[in-house]
Amino acid sequence: MNTKVYIVDARHPNTDLLVSAAHIIQEGGLVAFPTETVYGLGADGTDSEAVAKIFMAKGRPSDNPLILHIADTAMVKTLAKEVPANARILMGRFWPGPLTLVLKRTQAVPDVVTGGLDTVAIRLPDSEVARELIRLAGVPVAGPSANTSGRPSPTTAQAVLADLEGKIEGIIDAGPCGIGVESTVVDCTTPVPTLLRPGGITMEMLLEVLGEVEYQPIKGEDTKAPRAPGMKYKHYAPLAPMVLYEGDSAQVAKAIADASKIALESKRVGAIVSNETAALLEKGVQVADYGSRYRPEEVAAGLYEALRYFDSEPVDVIYAEGIDEFGLGLAVMNRLRKAAGYRIVKVE
């Protein structure tokens, strides 16, 4: 299959091109599209056969449900059986934006979207291109991240094509995504809303409007029936094994500098680190720099490109630097721990 590339401006997308892309979705095909978080892989969320193609193209396990993307809040009505007060507050405050709400679903939602769950995940994206595409398609658009399952999510059209070229009908290229990590997923069916996946809307922002939020970070290889089924799978992994260093930042920087120096004697060594730490490393270490460790937004925006950097610069081992878990740092650390397969060194 020849994957068509539609290049559009992120703020003022060419309507004719979006109409062509929307047609593909209406006809049951797959189109990758930009959002403010990462690139999504879109299909008609009301068409079981079209949604099944998403799982095929990504190699995604069928029990990992998809998020339905909508163009306006009115679309919630057909998909969700009820909208509790907490969900209404979150929609009012954070939609459009990087927040996904899990609600009780209606029969209009195909089983293949929810992996058979009685709930559905819904998001109204802030991206102009994404919203216009959905509006033109006229249906909720199922849209997981547009990567091969297990790989880092794509924040550029080039990263999407590296994984999915020839497997999907089209892609809309509007340049790099702004936020760089996926949406925050909040389950609103529990008495106290539960954070299922940290993301673009921070824990601090949620607490400010809700007062109370439950969150149990998944530890290690804990696979017992996770509430967000996708969270149990290997995810975000670069091609080489990665070790994550966490703790006091000066000590982490020193530990990575020492470990990478020793490893260089016998291996090709990569480092995914802040620019502060990059300055301390031996010349032979190949560095993917994710920005300043003191600016979590910058780290989030550069994270997945850093994880993909060593696809084209092969190394035998990667040392990665953790950051503090405030703001987007919580989402960044969630992704880095998974990418490392929970190979973590704690430094005091």
Residues that bind ligand AMP (CB under 6 A): 64-67, 102, 114, 117, 119-121, 144-145, 182, 185, 196-197, 227-231
Residue 114 binding target from Mg ion, ligand AMP, none, CB below 5 to 8 Å by type: ligand AMP
| 149 scored as a contact of Mg ion (CB under 5 A) | no
From CA 1, how far away is CA 164, in angstroms rounded? 11
Residue showing the smallest CB distance to Mg ion in the complex: 145
Residue 120 binding target from ligand AMP, Mg ion, none, CB below 5 to 8 Å by type: ligand AMP
Q: Which is nearer to ligand AMP, 153 or 277 (CB)?
A: 153
Residue 69 binding target from ligand AMP, Mg ion, none, CB below 5 to 8 Å by type: none
Q: Which is nearer to Mg ion, 148 or 275 (CB)?
A: 148
Among 35, 37, 86, 145, binds Mg ion (CB under 5 A): 145
Tokens 């949604």 found at: 51
Task: List, in sequence order, every residue forming a beta bridge with 197; answer none if it has no partner.
Answer: 185
Interaction mask 99-138, Mg ion, x per CB under 5 A: ----------------------------------------
Question: For strand 67-69 and strand 141-142, is the pairing parallel, antiparallel, or unpaired?
Answer: antiparallel
Give the tokens for residue 57: 């193209």
Residue 299 binding target from ligand AMP, Mg ion, none, CB below 5 to 8 Å by type: none
Tokens 């193609």 found at: 53
Q: Which is nearer to ligand AMP, 119 or 155 (CB)?
A: 119
Residue 121 beta carbon to Mg ion: minimum distance, rounded to whole angstroms:
12
Contacts of 344 (CB under 8 A, 6+ apart): 243, 244, 245, 246, 337
Residue 117 binding target from Mg ion, ligand AMP, none, CB below 5 to 8 Å by type: ligand AMP
Question: For strand 317-321 and strand 269-273, is the pairing parallel, antiparallel, or unpaired?
Answer: parallel
Residue 48 beta carbon to ligand AMP: minimum distance, rounded to whole angstroms:
16
Q: Which is nearer to ligand AMP, 293 or 337 (CB)?
A: 337
Residue 193 beta carbon to ligand AMP: minimum distance, rounded to whole angstroms:
13
Q: Which is nearer to ligand AMP, 294 or 342 (CB)?
A: 342
Give the tokens for residue 100: 């996904």
Q: Which is nearer to Mg ion, 145 or 249 (CB)?
A: 145
Residue 232 beta carbon to ligand AMP: minimum distance, rounded to whole angstroms:
9
Q: Tell me the number of residues near Mg ion by CB under 5 A.
A: 1
Question: Site residues (CB under 5 A) for Mg ion?
Answer: 145
